[in-house]
Amino acid sequence: MSIDSATQNWSTAERKIMEATYRAMLEYGYSGLSISRIADQFDKSKASIYYHYDSKDDLLLAFLDFVVDRFKTDFAEGVDEDPNSALTTVIEKLVPLRMNDEEFQGQRVLIELRSQATRNDAFREKFTEINELLVRTICEIIERGIENGTFRDVEAARVAEHIVATVNGSTIDRVTTDRETAPAAVRISLVSYIDSELRSHR
Amino acid sequence: MSIDSATQNWSTAERKIMEATYRAMLEYGYSGLSISRIADQFDKSKASIYYHYDSKDDLLLAFLDFVVDRFKTDFAEGVDEDPNSALTTVIEKLVPLRMNDEEFQGQRVLIELRSQATRNDAFREKFTEINELLVRTICEIIERGIENGTFRDVEAARVAEHIVATVNGSTIDRVTTDRETAPAAVRISLVSYIDSELRSHR
């Protein structure tokens, strides 16, 4: 996750708060995060944040909306490509062979926020939305490919669920273990899965 | 995860502390957990816990060792079966169609602990060990299957990495979203992946 790309629906003030939240999350993690520390990131008072958001959790839920918007922008890029390239592009984005430091830190922050979803219904709703978005995006690419004859006539939703589970499992492995060769193995196996499931004509 | 099966290497006192830790984790989650609350679970003083463990994190790292031992016991059950049944058994255990309440709560606790691994090296080592154990267990089953001609001659480690990533992604989806049909879709797709990757003879 990087937050440098433009997203609509956000006022300049809100965007600045989101960017400050992101920087504070990178530095302190979920457990060390506070409105004061977010305010420190952009020389504003706590009051100016509370003007927009009632609480730390309220702000973090908005932050997850910001992440969702960013995903949407990111995925929209490949939408005009042919289904084959579009699917390859999505996989390359979701399971990069290497993550730069900011991407790694961003995924770490997302896992910390996701862990809150185990006991907090509002966070749970957001992560339901994020996973639905990923599955739907991939499902639509597969359906386009089936329609135009690029892919075999598979159950698109099931294949999409498989890809998203594999991607999410690989990401959590990457940010919570020291298994450095695992992401590349999963990336190769995922490409091979997609080849045999969608592209091979028997 | 259930902790009712016997594990060796643990004194009675340690086992009692682990069971109390587990119950306290189920009730309060990682963030609400304290040595006092663990002591309350089995009518012991905090001092009796500090006699065995220096801190809450020290105790939780021991708890993760306890979980690893439990995994080992659990997986050892299927080890004598033929590779086909052994692999099916492991998949059924790792991606159950339904989780009972205790299994669900146990997975929730594991995700909360795993989230600590993003910033704590000792937790990170434990989750590296847990994922290595899963991959190695599945890899060995696949290698046995290749040797005795049950499975095709694939790169066992790569297939094992794929299965573990898919399993972990499915589990985190289950405990952090409300996507109730997703686990069954992943289970079906995983069985189909294993069939086409290992069992089909083209």
Distance between CA atoms of residues B18 and B21, nearest Å: 5
Closest chain A residue by Cα to residue B200: A196
Of A112, A127, A132, the CB nearest to B118: A112
The distance from CA B46 to its chain's CA centroid, rounded to whole angstroms, is 28
Q: Is the pLDDT of residue B4 over 50?
A: no
User: What is the pLDDT, as a whole number, of residue A5?
Assistant: 47
Distance between CA atoms of residues B151 and B198, nearest Å: 5
* Cβ(A109)–Cβ(A43) below 8 Å: no
Dihedral angle over CA of A46, A49, A54, A60, nearest 10:
-110
Of A162, A172, A196, the CB nearest to B114: A172
Q: Is the pLDDT of residue B81 over 70?
A: yes
B175–A contact, CB cutoff 8 A: yes
Domain ranges in chain B are 7-61, 77-199
A197–B contact, CB cutoff 8 A: yes
Closest chain A residue by Cα to residue B95: A165
The first and second tokens of residue B110, run together, are 């594991």
Q: If you average pLDDT over residues B68-74, what whole number do you get?
A: 85
User: What is the pLDDT, as a whole number, of residue B67?
Assistant: 87
Instruction: Please choose, from the candidates A121, A110, A99, the residue with its C-alpha nearest in 3D space to the C-alpha of residue A168.
Output: A110
Supply the DSSP symbol for B171: H
Give the phi and the psi of residue A101 in degrees, each rounded to 5. Answer: -60, -40
Distance between CA atoms of residues B2 and B77, nearest Å: 15
For the domain bounded by B7-61, which CATH number is listed? 1.10.10.60
User: What is the pLDDT, as a whole number, of residue A1?
Assistant: 44
- The reply to whether residue B112 touches residue A115, judged by beta carbons under 8 angstroms, is yes
A188–B contact, CB cutoff 8 A: yes
- The reply to whether residue A177 touches residue B111, judged by beta carbons under 8 angstroms, is no
User: What is the pLDDT, as a whole number, of residue B150?
Assistant: 94
Q: Residue ranges of the alpha helices (H) in chain B?
A: 12-28, 35-40, 46-50, 56-76, 83-94, 101-116, 121-147, 156-176, 182-194
Q: Is the pLDDT of residue B77 over 90?
A: no
B127: distance to nearest CA of chain A, Å?
6
Instruction: Please choose, from the candidates B54, B28, B50, B27, the residue with its C-alpha nearest in 3D space to the C-alpha of residue B39.
Output: B50
- Mean pLDDT value across chain A: 89
- The reply to whether residue B128 touches residue A177, judged by beta carbons under 8 angstroms, is yes
Q: Which residues of chain A does B115 touch, with a Cβ-Cβ cutoff of 8 Å?
A: 111-112, 114-115, 176
pLDDT in tens, chain A (202 residues): 444 444 567 888 899 999 999 999 888 888 889 999 999 998 888 898 999 999 998 999 999 999 888 888 887 776 678 999 999 999 999 999 998 888 898 899 999 999 999 989 999 999 999 999 999 999 999 999 999 999 999 999 999 999 999 999 999 999 999 999 999 999 999 999 999 899 866 4
Q: Is the pLDDT of residue B6 over 50?
A: no
Instruction: Please choose, from the candidates B73, B53, B69, B95, the residue with its C-alpha nearest in 3D space to the C-alpha of residue B190.
Output: B95
The first and second tokens of residue A181, run together, are 């060769």
Supply the DSSP symbol for B197: I
* Identical fold between B7-61 and B77-199: no
Distance between CA atoms of residues A66 and B177, nearest Å: 18
User: What is the pLDDT, as a whole number, of residue A102?
Assistant: 85
Supply the DSSP symbol for B29: T
Judged by CB atoms within 8 Å, which residues 31-70 of A form the interface with B? 31
Distance between CA atoms of residues A104 and A168, nearest Å: 14
Q: Which residues of chain A does B193 touch, with a Cβ-Cβ cutoff of 8 Å?
A: 162, 193, 197
Q: C-alpha distances in angstroms, A10 versus A16, A112, A128?
A: 10, 24, 22
Radius of gyration of chain A (CA): 18
- The reply to whether residue A161 touches residue B125, judged by beta carbons under 8 angstroms, is no
Q: If you average pLDDT over residues B54-70, what whole number do you get?
A: 91
- Pick from A131, A176, A193, A195 the residue to mutate for testing the B interface (most B CBs within 10 Å): A176
Distance between CA atoms of residues B93 and B99, nearest Å: 10
pLDDT digit string, tens, across residues A168-200 = 999 999 999 999 999 999 999 999 999 989 986
Q: C-alpha distances in angstroms, A108 versus A84, B162, B169?
A: 30, 21, 15
User: What is the pLDDT, as a whole number, of residue A8?
Assistant: 62
Amino acid at A91: I
Place of tokens 């989650």: B29
| Confidence band of B32 (pLDDT split at 50, 70, 90) | confident
Judged by CB atoms within 8 Å, which residues 142-161 of A form the interface with B? 157-159, 161
Q: Is the pLDDT of residue B5 over 50?
A: no
Distance between CA atoms of residues B93 and B70, nearest Å: 13
Closest chain B residue by Cα to residue A202: B202
Q: If you average pLDDT over residues B56-76, what whole number do you get?
A: 88
Distance between CA atoms of residues A10 and A24, nearest Å: 19
Amino acid at B19: E
- The reply to whether residue A182 touches residue B190, judged by beta carbons under 8 angstroms, is no
| Confidence band of B8 (pLDDT split at 50, 70, 90) | low
Of B159, B162, B185, the CB nearest to A158: B185
Distance between CA atoms of residues A36 and B143, nearest Å: 55
Distance between CA atoms of residues B53 and B16, nearest Å: 13
Of B132, B172, B189, the CB nearest to A114: B172
Place of tokens 């004061």: A36
| Confidence band of B7 (pLDDT split at 50, 70, 90) | low
Q: Which of left, alpha, beta for A53 (phi over 0: left; psi -120 to 50: alpha)? A: beta
Domain B77-199 in CATH 3.90.1150.10: no
The domain A1-55 is classified under which CATH number: 3.30.390.10, 1.10.10.60, 1.20.1330.10, 3.30.499.10?
1.10.10.60
Of A128, A169, A189, the CB nearest to B178: A128
